[in-house]
Amino acid sequence: MKKLAVLASGSGSNFEAIVKQSTGAYEVVLLITDRDDAYALQRATKLGIPTKSISPKNFEDKATYEQAVLDVIRKYGVDWIALAGYMRIVSLTLLKPYEGRIVNVHPSLLPKFPGKDAIAQALDAEVTKTGVTVHYIDEGVDTGPIISQEVVEVTKQDTYETLQQKIRQVEHELFPKTLTKVIREDELVGK
């Protein structure tokens, strides 16, 4: 079983789904947040998952911050990293040692609506479909290779909140399932 660290910035609902839907391919061994007030920390405590809050404000630059994150991840013997609502662009400091083993979930059908607030972007564009994308991380903003996607219908009655809820439901199923799939495939290739 592979050791998985989750990086989050907010509520941690995807983090919780990843923990609860682990099917034996991975074990969540660590949650790292970039904010001391992230609700994800409380979820992790309830689930018995070790946590570490590392604020970028406490470091002189991004590389030093990411090195601190990397040091903690290595201490836990982490094999894979999942970004679950982690609102930071990952640079080479973290990317290089975990190349091909950092997976992100994004609330749109990439390449449409990358970056921040994809839900508002979809509503502003008046699309009839948006969705969820799980992808590998690269140096760009939501530009890494796509692993899986699922469509979410957008109705005229949808508000930001209702669309966000529909997207979260899909994320909570698709992300853990996709993590399990890529980790198992990697194990097969590695043998």
24 — pLDDT class (breaks 50, 70, 90): confident
5: part of which helix (H) or strand (E)? strand 2-8
Other Cβ atoms less than 10 A from the Cβ of 77: the count is: 11
190 — pLDDT class (breaks 50, 70, 90): low
pLDDT above 50 for 89? yes
Catalytic residue list contains 106 = yes
Question: Does the annotation place 156 within a ligand binding site?
Answer: no
CA–CA dist 5, 1 (Å, integer): 13
> pLDDT digits over 123-149, tens only?
999 999 999 999 999 988 999 999 999
Total number of domains constituting the chain: 1
Give pTM, 2 decimals.
0.95
Question: Does the annotation place 12 within a ligand binding site?
Answer: yes
Mean pLDDT to the nearest integer, 59-80: 96
Listed in sequence order, the DSSP H helices in the chain are 13-20, 40-47, 62-75, 92-95, 118-124, 160-190
**What one-character DSSP code corresponds to residue 86?**
-
The domain that holds 168 is classified in CATH as: 3.40.50.170
Contacts of residue 142, defined as CB under 8 A and 6 or more positions apart, other chains included, come to: 104, 106, 110, 111, 114, 115, 133, 135
CA–CA dist 52, 87 (Å, integer): 16
Question: Does the annotation place 62 within a ligand binding site?
Answer: yes
pLDDT above 60 for 60? yes
CA–CA dist 105, 146 (Å, integer): 10
Question: Does the annotation place 89 within a ligand binding site?
Answer: yes
Question: Does the annotation place 88 within a ligand binding site?
Answer: yes
Report whether 21 contacts 97 (CB < 8 A). Answer: no
* AA identity, residue 96: K
Q: What pLDDT was estimated at residue 48?
A: 97
Selecting among 43, 106, 135, 166, the annotated active-site residue is 106
**Which residue carries 């009839």 as its tokens?**
128
Other Cβ atoms less than 10 A from the Cβ of 96: the count is: 9
Domain range for 51: 2-190
Question: Does the annotation place 74 within a ligand binding site?
Answer: no
